[in-house]
A and B are shown apart, each in its own frame.
Chain A
Amino acid sequence: MRKIIYIYSILMLCCTLSFAQQTPADTQSQAISITGATIHVGNGTVIENGTVVFENGKIQAVGNSSTVTKGTVVDASGKHLYPGFIGANTNLGLVEVDAVNASNDQREMGSMIPHVRSLIAYNAESKVIESMRPNGILTAQVSPNGGTFSGTSSIMQLDAWNWQDAAIKVDDGVHLNWPSSFSRGRWWLGEPRGLRPNNNYAKQVEGIIAFVKESKAYLKGKRATKNIPFEAMEGLFDGSQKLYVHVNDEKGITDAVNFAIENGMTMVVVGGYQAHTVNGLLKNNNIPVLIDHTHSLPATSDHDYDLPYKNPKLLADAGVLVGIHTGSNSNFQTRNLPFYAGQVVGQGMDKEDALKLITSNIAKILGIDDMLGTIEVGKSATLFVSEGDALDMRGNQLTHAFIDGREISLETHQTELWKRYSEKYKN
């Protein structure tokens, strides 16, 4: 196996060398104005024939056609302007090729490892990352997957030289894989296939509670002997970090919410397949949900065929703050984020509300709504122009994209191959 990994590594290296990554754009040097666009602000409002002006990476004016332009003017007549989409709970940069182990840095070993930090392994030059941008995904939370307390995520902008200049919010939260109420039959050991109640559930939950109690006790003490995992829990207790609890079933969500409240933590549900069954609990405790992306199958034969399609709407209608995450899917699929949101429109959600699922709602949930999520004065000029409706495959066609006012490349390894071979067949 080692040999194979070695061969793979060499091959990977060759490929990396043969096609250069897109060069990150320079800092915004002069003011830019986009005019004539239908501006989808990201908070539910739309400005027809609108103008946006930004300078030094920040939005300075948003308004109708009478807004005074400044600097370079981009005519976006008949086009649509959107705030950059935000990927939540992604593994971008942590894995390049799923089935090539050498390229995979998603899961560290161990169980209680909140100190493990995703941004360290973040490969800013990943070909998968550059493929996000032509679809409008300009920012992403990058999370680790392993263990029970999996580690700490960070939020990155997707046009950078390295993890340092990519990071816009370092160590934003700690991720916790809540035990499932169900366990799967290990059929390869002769157990019957299928789900059955997890008999170890209570014990596993107790393990989490014990770790939190120990952390608290340690943090109150003199910390004479440093304990790195306990140290990594501090932000959860002082409110500087959020707790992202990965949990899908009704019982687990209920237990996790009570656990977070008892320990004074700011919690986000990640997954939430059955969250709609406890939306009262979530709403009353202001607990937002990063719901699993919509392109998935119902969990049982009895469920509505379109339950995953409408799940975000069920929560939104009940007043729960909800965004869509893509962590349960293969890494490269994150570029379909706009269509995951578009799918909910087919279920009767308003288009601008669906847009919130991948912009302002996520910004609020991740705690970056002061910088990102809407096209409003004072916020980062992280936005893009699309030929048409960016939530629909038929209209999602980017002509310009900006991160902090920097106009970024929309080319990728893939567009280069496309052009090269289209050229080959021209004659």
Chain B
Amino acid sequence: MMLVCSFSIVAQEHFPKNDGVKSENTNYTAFTNAKIFVTPTQIIDKGTLLIQDGKVVATGTSVNIPTNAVVIDVSGKSIYPSFIDIYSGFGVEKPKRQGGGFRFGGGQYDASREGFYWNDHIRPEQNAVDHFKYDAKAASALRKAGFGVVNTHLQDGIMRGTGALVALTSKGSDAERILDDRSAAYLSLSKSLKSRQSYPNSLMGSLALIRQVNHDAAWYAKGGIKITDRSLEAFNNNKGLVKIFVAGSKANALRVDKVGDEFGTQYVIVGGGDEYERIKDIKAANATYILPLNFPNAYDVEDTFAASVLELSAMREWNQKPSNPKALADNSIRFTFTTDGLKSPSMLKANLMKAIEYGLDKTKALEALTTVPAQVLGQSNKIGSLKNGAYANFLITSGDIFDKSTTLYENWVKGDRDIIKDMNIKDIDGNYSFTMAGKTYDVKISGSASKPKSDVKSNGKQLGSKISYKDNWVNLTFTSTDTTQQEFMRFTSRVNQNDNLSGKIIDPNGNIAYVSAVKSSSDDDSKKDGMNKRGGSNKEVKMMPVTYPNGAYGVSELPQQETILFKNATVWTNESEGILENTDVLIKNGKISKIGNNLSASGAKVVDATGKHLTAGIIDEHSHIAAASINEGGQNSSAEVSIEDVIDPEDVNIYRNLAGGVTSIQILHGSANPIGGRSAIIKLKWGETADGLINKNAPKFIKFALGENVKQSRSQNGTRFPRTRMGVEQLFTDYFTRAQEYDAKKKNGQPYRYDIELETLTEILNGERFISCHSYVQSEINMMMKVAEKFNFKMNTFTHILEGYKVADIMKEHGVGASTFSDWWAYKFEVNDAIPYNASIMHNVGITTAINSDSGEMSRRLNQEAAKTVKYGGVSEEDAWKMVTLNPAKLLHIDNRVGSIKVGKDADVVLWNDNPLSVYAKAERTMIEGATYFDIDKDKQMRSKIKKERSELMTMMMQEKNKGMKTQPIKAKDKQLLECDSMD
């Protein structure tokens, strides 16, 4: 057995030496007869790898081996460049969260640091190297998993500062380990644990903050900020570094990529492993992805009660997620892997093999672990390959590194050897037999290279046995043939050059015998067959098709525009024609093409609508569905945030809304603060991407809010201004005054700090952005109009507006619209005088009045809510219907395209089986721009498909459990319906 002393790597020649004599080692080491992967695609068979002083000197088949070389013959073995993980927290301790857990109200609004950015969660000045402490245990675990180098950083904050590239060698000091101390800059969407500063407390807030930091850094660089800001200085200093952004999911990947694009930054994105669900958009983002490899275990579905809450999307995730790397490879998207998120780096291999089983090409897999991460960091000449001059970071394996049976023998980092498994250990697999005291024993040994197993029989009788094999010694214990006794025979043998096992046996009575277990020759062949089989076969994996969204009621492709002729319908036009009986409507090219009698159109699909009602699609002025976050309450104004950044196209409530005849909604920011965030006005095109949902023809909107919520009335220890309605008025006055000053500076051509928040408010002043203002009591409603008048703009919509009936005349004069609940009241103090006649009074006064939902439940029955204005206050049915269609369209300034059945408008229509205002009515078909997004018959088919797929997946998961695979307990998403008050 060879023993090679490790080199002392790059000598610390200027250090004094007090523990012996100077002993620099300039020998070479040569590895001969190996299959060498210089790169994943440059492979040398039976080659030599020559290294010296921690670096590769040469590779090839005819390498000249110097005389002062230690030669290691590794015939039959493979050498790979070692792996690289560029999203790591190795050796950098994560800070502990400050204070307790969740706290309501009483937040900390100001920064806790001085001389840094105004927001504690922006920490680009952090450098991993300042916090780094070599962790020998973690390094050993990483080396065992095949890693040689990691890029580590302090995993804390939205801007996290720079990372350090670290070689995982146990020898030497950090001076030798740290290859680059400013190797990349890291960002995330999560706040620092070191501070309780409340802003940002939403996803959209984090995105807005990153934008503002970019603007501020540019302004700082121009000298616009007179004080020292070490965060912005660091941000500017880090400009040239690779930026690695932890997104954690496909949706967030697209979000952060978009923000990056706005500032000319292409982030490298740490993904969520769910990229396959939207692979085209992921590809279009043009980023390199760092993928976690944590595939979920099957769910334990034996308990049918518990399993009933398990959703199809979760089961599909189990079934499909291992296909993610293949999907990226197939689409030529560059990716690397990280062990982050795995319980231990040792799980990497099993998961990687699973991905390969799902079709990931092995070369791609190897690239993802070697050359790609090296390229990302711009370190290709140093790491990730075995090219000359690169660090001698490599693995010696028994064969194909992605094969289950392959053993990783050694992991060399910068020429420093770590023996994972002794590669000179002899393979002793085979069948042996020996005779003792007249009895013949047959011993079968398998798995000796990794986990030895034994099987002992005597004259056909099975005996219990246990084997250990270490350092060339075999210890085999087996039960005696007398099964009435619990007695053991112990056999110990040193493994020799010949194939037999010769050693001594001690029987239960302490008698010692020397025996030689003779190996039979036939076994080798069968083993070779096995090897071939392992290498060649590729088990078929049954994978469920991906839908958009990838769960129940998802679609495999988007519905297409159709030419449809509705015959003989009762048509609620919302125009001067009123309600037309027995009328035909032709839908063509996404538009309402003709309305009339006895229409015909060639190629049109004819729908008999006799006895049915055709209306414009319902429009919900106030919705909170389909959004990943709703409130940014971390400050009293959050005009810089936008719901458009956080649209969630996968919310099943989109589909449920369609089933209730809804086609357009305004997703409003919540009511946590007086100046809320910007709205998203979307069409409910179920199956589309977040961007595809946005109504590009809609104008800009923002949410404002008044009353109990914004003054945090139900929080005992509120510290945020304002705490009264008096303060609310002053807050608006303050912000609009600042916006006026800002706008003046801009218009005068003076230099100014670009402020996203004031930009937004300026748009309001200039009539380019409309306000939808959450409001309840008459005093505050009146106040808001007066503030607007003072600043020369008009309030567009009061939403909720439950006491609008008390100031309807003043509202009418101001020219504001109203979007209210039909009959809500009594849920909080400020709605004590809310009456269900509110809508009818405002309507009668001449205010454009809409009925809204603010609830994912009510939104799917807005037709019924409109009908309540008939009951409470006697609004005509025709006008009542407009309150959920044409009137909200007017309030949103989209009535030129939607809201009525008029030739030339978008074909956003609903076919009802009854008068749409009736509680008995059901939407049978809901169309947007001429494409059918809900069809009651198709819904039925989907239900049975869901049922079938659920059972199929459950069967597969039970089979998985029967195979002995690990399972996880059932869990289900908690349906959190976001409303105005939701803090998320």
Contact = CB atoms under 8 A, between A and B. Distances in A.
A250 B305 contact: yes
A302 B946 contact: yes
A346 B921 contact: yes
A393 B826 contact: no
A99 B844 contact: no
A218 interface: no
Nearest to B950: A302
B306 A300 contact: no
A392 B919 contact: yes
Contacts of A98: 826-828
A331 B972 CA distance: 29
Contacts of B313: 301
A392 B867 CA distance: 9
Interface stretch (A189-197, A280-288, A363-371): A189-197
B825 A332 contact: yes
A184 interface: yes
A417 B833 contact: yes
B161 interface: no
Contacts of A393: 864, 867-868, 870-871, 917-919
A342 B919 contact: yes
Given A188-B101, A418-B837, A97 B306 contact: no
Interface stretch (A164-172, A233-241, A291-299): A291-299
Contact of A195 (B309, B652, B825, B857): B309
B970 interface: yes
Contacts, number: 177
A330 interface: yes
B826 A422 contact: no
Nearest to A351: B920
Interface residues of A, number: 67
Interface in A277-319: 277, 295-302, 304-306
Interface string A238-259: 0000000000011100000000
A11 B976 contact: no
Contacts of B970: 196-197
Interface in B824-874: 824-829, 832-833, 835-837, 841, 844-845, 856-858, 860-861, 864, 867-868, 870-873
B971 interface: yes
A133 to B, nearest CB: 14
Nearest to B866: A393
Interface in B921-973: 921-922, 939, 943, 946, 950, 969-973
A60 interface: no
A345 B920 contact: yes
A204 interface: no
A99 B714 contact: yes
B828 A97 contact: yes
Contacts of B808: 421, 425
A335 B871 CA distance: 13
A394 B828 contact: no
A91 B103 CA distance: 30
Contact of A194 (B824, B868, B972): B972
Contact of A197 (B303, B553, B827): B303
Greatest chain B CB density within 10 A among A184, A342, A392 is at A392
A189 B101 contact: yes
Contacts of A396: 871
A78 interface: no
Contact of B864 (A128, A339, A397, A415): A339
Contacts of B969: 196-197
A56 interface: no
A4 B105 CA distance: 15
Interface in A1-59: 1, 4, 8, 11-12, 15
A424 B812 CA distance: 14
Given A418-B873, A425-B844, A394 B867 contact: yes
Interface in A382-427: 391-394, 396-397, 414-415, 417-418, 421-422, 424-425
B716 interface: yes
A15 B713 CA distance: 19
B311 interface: yes
Contacts of B943: 304
Nearest to A422: B841
A138 to B, nearest CB: 18
A211 interface: no
Nearest to B855: A297
B977 interface: yes
Contacts of B708: 99
Interface string B92-107: 0000000001100000
B469 interface: no
Given A250-B308, A295-B861, A299-B309, A330 B974 contact: no
A99 B716 CA distance: 13
B917 A394 contact: yes
Contacts of A298: 656
A200 to B, nearest CB: 14
B975 A15 contact: no
Interface string B896-921: 00000000000000000011011111
B806 to A, nearest CB: 6
A296 B827 contact: no
B823 interface: yes
A301 B552 contact: yes
A424 B829 CA distance: 25
Contacts of B922: 346
Greatest chain A CB density within 10 A among B551, B552, B827, B920 is at B920
A121 B826 CA distance: 18
Given A1-B716, A96-B826, A99-B829, A301 B919 contact: no
Contacts of A100: 828-829
Contacts of B713: 4
12 contacts: A11-B829, A182-B309, A297-B856, A298-B656, A301-B311, A302-B311, A343-B919, A392-B867, A393-B917, A394-B867, A414-B836, A425-B845
Q: Name the 10 nearest CB pairs between A and B, nearest first.
A: A188-B102, A342-B919, A99-B828, A393-B867, A418-B837, A251-B305, A332-B826, A414-B835, A301-B652, A195-B972
Interface of B: 101-102, 303, 305-306, 308-309, 311-313, 551-553, 652-653, 655-656, 659, 708, 713-714, 716, 805-806, 808-809, 823-829, 832-833, 835-837, 841, 844-845, 856-858, 860-861, 864, 867-868, 870-873, 877, 914-915, 917-922, 939, 943, 946, 950, 969-977
Given A305-B860, A418-B805, 16 more contacts: A97-B827, A97-B832, A99-B708, A99-B827, A195-B309, A195-B974, A249-B305, A295-B858, A302-B551, A332-B826, A345-B919, A393-B870, A394-B867, A394-B917, A394-B919, A396-B871
